[in-house]
Chains A and B, each alone.
Chain A
């Protein structure tokens, strides 16, 4: 019953998302929807770590940033076509995750959080100060989105459809991961690392594979990010960007597929609406953090689910 209800929920959501380009009055709103779904991919990737592995990272924007910079730099400065730039960006982002994983997985819990934060800040510092490579605070601008398979992505609707398709792929891949042996092992190392070790599992390796998978999907979000904004600056891999992704997961509900997507949509809408009136987004972001963590630590989606169950009973 619940499984059917959740399938029906997903089907309705997907239909609604596919209809959006025909409902929304202008490309401006479609652009906001696109931003939300791009960042939803990042939130989903972070939830592999948090929801399945129980590891909260504050450096997750690094993979998005590295991969977005890789796309922008190779396209702009080396003239690479998209089909070369994208695999390169994914590889570089995943490689960054490998390096981060080797270092951060030496610690657990808050030590892990602190090391990922420090590593993320190092990447931010490099992007900000290594002006010759990254353009410093000015970042790198791209001219246009590519034409893929006869599909001109400069058209807002076309690009939105591609983002939807990538999001759907990410959802399916993460669903498969959650329901695979690896997903079960990740949850095992989260809940009972000692027992897992006794059962003969290599706890470090399981965590590392989970960490790098999260990094790979973060890099996917980075490719979308670069083509979405056609601009990459240091803010793409700043601490607030990592923190926003974490907030999306916590707000929506860690360990659920719908949670990070819902969190990404809610936060992006709030951010867009607020930024059009006042300039105090960071104060609001901070307040949202405090309110979400103290009032609904489990997040929106589990909260709504238990509320609906209560109503039915």
Chain B
């Protein structure tokens, strides 16, 4: 019983991390029509930068936000310098994000070496929490809570603010949004910052669970792809539901059939593609 409860909690914590990763990925895809293949790299970069900041004895949550902001700034610079020049050539933009991901991965390897870099959880969250006679790892509960809070915050941003309304308009119909006077290219910067910020933040918050290692980017990117294929492109509820589904499948897959975790992950994707190619909450791409 303890096994199932702990694994369920682990799955939900993993789902929370995946939400931080794929919410931005999905929004960027929805608005700019490109899968940002550097997103796994931004997550990994966040984890490494966070580890370095923690080494300077910054408090954990401050380190997470600073690392997220740095990665977000990098995202804005990349979008403004490399991607904007290729506006209209979506395939070219995707290939550029792929090139960026290789560079990020290689420079991380150069800077932080080949050995995994561990990140320590905040001191107060290390002891287990006892609930109804079961011991829960405190940090994972906190990750789950944080991800849900982030989901709520993003939802408020998208549904209750002017910026959010403009982003939704851009996702729904970019040309129409332009013609009613929304400066969509500015939204690109905003969404890229938001997406990269969340990815970098997720990297630090995931650090105590996953640690930072070469290949973390290549492990995370397919998970984000599967989340978006399951949940639907550009949909926040889709990213949330997809993240928890993938978190549960990936975590139980790894625990029960370690050799096949990746293949098991692929089954729900296959089912979704056959049954509803636009994903749970998605609409057909224009």
Judge whether A280 and B263 touch: CB under 8 Å: no
Does any Cβ of A come within 8 Å of B261's Cβ? yes
Whether the Cβ atoms of A288 and B259 lie closer than 8 Å is no
A109 to B262, CA, bound (A): 25
Residue interface bits A85-116, CB-to-B below 8 A is 1, else 0: 00000000000000000010011011101110
A 263-313 contacts with B by CB, 8 A: 280-283, 285-290, 293-294, 297
Contact of A294 among B92, B100, B218, B285 (CB under 8 A): B92
- B107-163 at interface with A (beta carbon < 8 Å): 107, 110
A121 at the interface (CB under 8 A from B): yes
Residue of A nearest to B102 (CB): A286
Instruction: Say yes or no: is B266 at the interface (Cβ < 8 Å to chain A).
Output: yes
Q: Are B222 and A294 in touch, CB under 8 angstroms?
A: no
Chain A nearest CB: distance from B51 CB in Å? 21
Contact of B92 among A282, A285, A297 (CB under 8 A): A297
B255 at the interface (CB under 8 A from A): no
A17 part of interface (Cβ distance < 8 Å): no
Across-interface contacts of A107 in B (CB, < 8 A): 273, 277
Chain B residues with CB below 8 A from A250, complex form: 95
B34 close to chain A: CB less than 8 A: yes
Residues in B lying within 8 Å of A, measured CB to CB:
33-35, 37, 82, 85-86, 89-92, 94-96, 98-103, 105-107, 110, 218, 221-222, 225-226, 228-229, 233, 258-263, 265-266, 269-270, 273-274, 277, 285
Central interface residue in A115, A126, A293, by most chain B CB within 10 Å: A293
Residue contact B102 to A243, C-beta cutoff 8 Å:
yes
Question: Whole-angstrom distance from the CB of B271 to the nearest CB of chain A?
Answer: 10
Q: Which of A56, A119, A243 contacts B266 (CB 8 A)?
A: A119
A54 nearest CB neighbor, chain B only: B91
Within 8 Å CB of B106, what residues of A?
280-283, 286
Does B229 contact A243, Cβ atoms closer than 8 Å? Answer: no
Q: A111-B285, A250-B95 are in contact. Are A103 and B35 (CB under 8 A)?
A: no
A-side residues, CB < 8 A to B, are 56, 58, 103, 106-107, 109-111, 113-115, 117-119, 121-122, 124-126, 129-132, 238-240, 243, 246-247, 250, 280-283, 285-290, 293-294, 297
Contacts A110-B33, A117-B222, A288-B99; A294 near B266 (Cβ below 8 A): no
Q: Of the candidates B34, B226, B258, B274, which one forms a contact with A118 in the assembled complex, judged by CB atoms under 8 Å apart? A: B226
Say how far A193's CB is from chain B's closest CB, in angstroms.
Answer: 14
B259's partner among A114, A130, A290, A293 (CB-CB below 8 A) is A130
B103 engages A282 (CB within 8 Å): yes
Q: Nearest chain-A residue to B233 (Cβ)? A: A111
Q: Name 29 A/B residue pairs within 8 A (Cβ), A-sorted.
A: A103-B270, A107-B277, A109-B90, A110-B90, A110-B91, A110-B94, A114-B225, A117-B225, A118-B225, A118-B269, A121-B222, A122-B263, A124-B262, A129-B259, A129-B260, A129-B261, A129-B262, A238-B218, A243-B102, A250-B95, A280-B110, A283-B102, A286-B98, A286-B106, A289-B95, A290-B82, A293-B86, A293-B96, A297-B89
B222 to A290, Cβ gap below 8 A?
Answer: no
Complex: A239 Cα to B222 Cα, angstroms = 11
Q: Are B260 and A130 neighbours in the complex by a CB distance under 8 Å?
A: yes
The distance in angstroms between the C-alpha atoms of A129 and B263, with both chains bound, is 10
